[in-house]
Amino acid sequence: MFRKDESHEMSIAIVTGSAGLIGSEASRHFAAKGMTVVGVDNDMRQEFFGPEASTRWQQQQLESELGNDYVHVDGDIRDMDLIDNLFAKYGNDIELVVHTAAQPSHDWAASAPHIDFTVNANGTLNMLEATRAHCSDAVFVFTSTNKVYGDTPNRLPLHETETRWEIADDHPYADGISEDMSIDNTLHSLFGASKVAADVLVQEYGRYFDMKTSIFRGGCLTGPNHSGTQLHGFLAYLMKCTVTGNPYTVFGYNGKQVRDNIHSHDLIQAFDHFFQAPRSGEVYNMGGARFSHCSMREAISLCQEIAGRELQHSYAEDNRVGDHIWYVSDVSKFQSHYPGWQLTKNVNDILTEMYEANVERWSAEGVS
């Protein structure tokens, strides 16, 4: 199943969820740096969210674009033997592990708790143990989530404006929520709980075993490679519905809930900075911060303006369980550790790029 070129020593990057949004961006980036990328992805996103969320198209693009620099493994991170054998095959040639594979929806998790937990928690444990056993000096990058904070952000003193919920300028979190927010005594959703387990495991392997591990607690991670669907990837799905004419439902908070959005390119740049100068067990809140954030209402207006057509949308009074009213990431801790990194793409940039990259493919699906 696995290929290794025995003729010369390779620099290997293992990327899980390699055909997903972040995984595909990571695969291209590190292949361009001269690494051989071994991508692990079995398109479980299609199982989670249906055919429209399949990532096979992205896998095919990676294989076509990267050629011998990309080796695809159609495997499940829950399969401990498969993961261990993969790592044993490449051994100390593995310099980097980017672990993005996950069950990513807090709505979906409640319908299948065992699958959610075993993918997110057990799968992460398998990855950590394989790294420790076969390439303990490798850098391990993990994509966690702001859902580890549960609904604690909803206790912040927010006020309502015409288009959004907002926090006071003099509040300690006015520039975003920092890593000192508690993850205890809160409603997480089952997804949030499984990601907490994984998050703490990655911290512990860094501190207990002195491994080079990092935890990036993402807000909305987005970009043109996102296979957006109703339950995950709201900006991509919002733009897709605007283009295709599919109806979109806004859930709760008067459509004024606020999210920061980070382009996959900017996130991968952060991964690379950590890779170049790794630390042990570090936790970083990572998102678009005040540079790139919007409310649902503001996002709809932008989508309509960029696509040149109206979004067919309705409003449901009940918000999703555990959904944040306002979440903006404070990225200053990461910037203090890696001052050469900065955000480059805001919400308007992201949506424009998303439209231009996908309008032809989405229109060809013949939804409207």
Can you give the pLDDT at residue 51? 78
pLDDT digits over 55-73, tens only? 888 899 999 999 999 999 9
Mean per-residue pLDDT for 93-117? Answer: 92
pLDDT class for 226, splitting at 50, 70, 90?
low
Q: Which residue has the tokens 């198209």?
A: 57
pLDDT digits over 18-31, tens only? 999 899 999 999 99
Can you give the pLDDT at residue 233? 59
pLDDT class for 232, splitting at 50, 70, 90?
low
Residue among 41, 13, 42 nearest 29 (CA): 13
Q: Flag whether pLDDT at 175 surpasses 50.
A: yes
Q: Flag whether pLDDT at 4 surpasses 50.
A: no
Can you give the pLDDT at residue 360? 86
185: phi > 0 → left, psi -120 to 50 → alpha, else beta; which? left
Q: Flag whether pLDDT at 1 surpasses 50.
A: no
The per-residue b/e assignment along 75-95, b for 16 or more CB within 10 angstroms, e otherwise, is bbbbeeebbeebbebbeebbb
What structural domains does the chain harbor? 12-363 (3.40.50.720)
Phi and psi of 140, rounded to 5°?
-115, 115
Mean per-residue pLDDT for 81-106? Answer: 95
pLDDT digits over 347-367, tens only? 999 999 999 988 887 887 654
Mean per-residue pLDDT for 30-49? Answer: 91
CA angle 122–120–318, rounded 5-degree value: 145
Phi and psi of 86, rounded to 5°?
-60, -50
- To 10 degrees, the CA torsion angle through 46, 300, 289, 328? -80
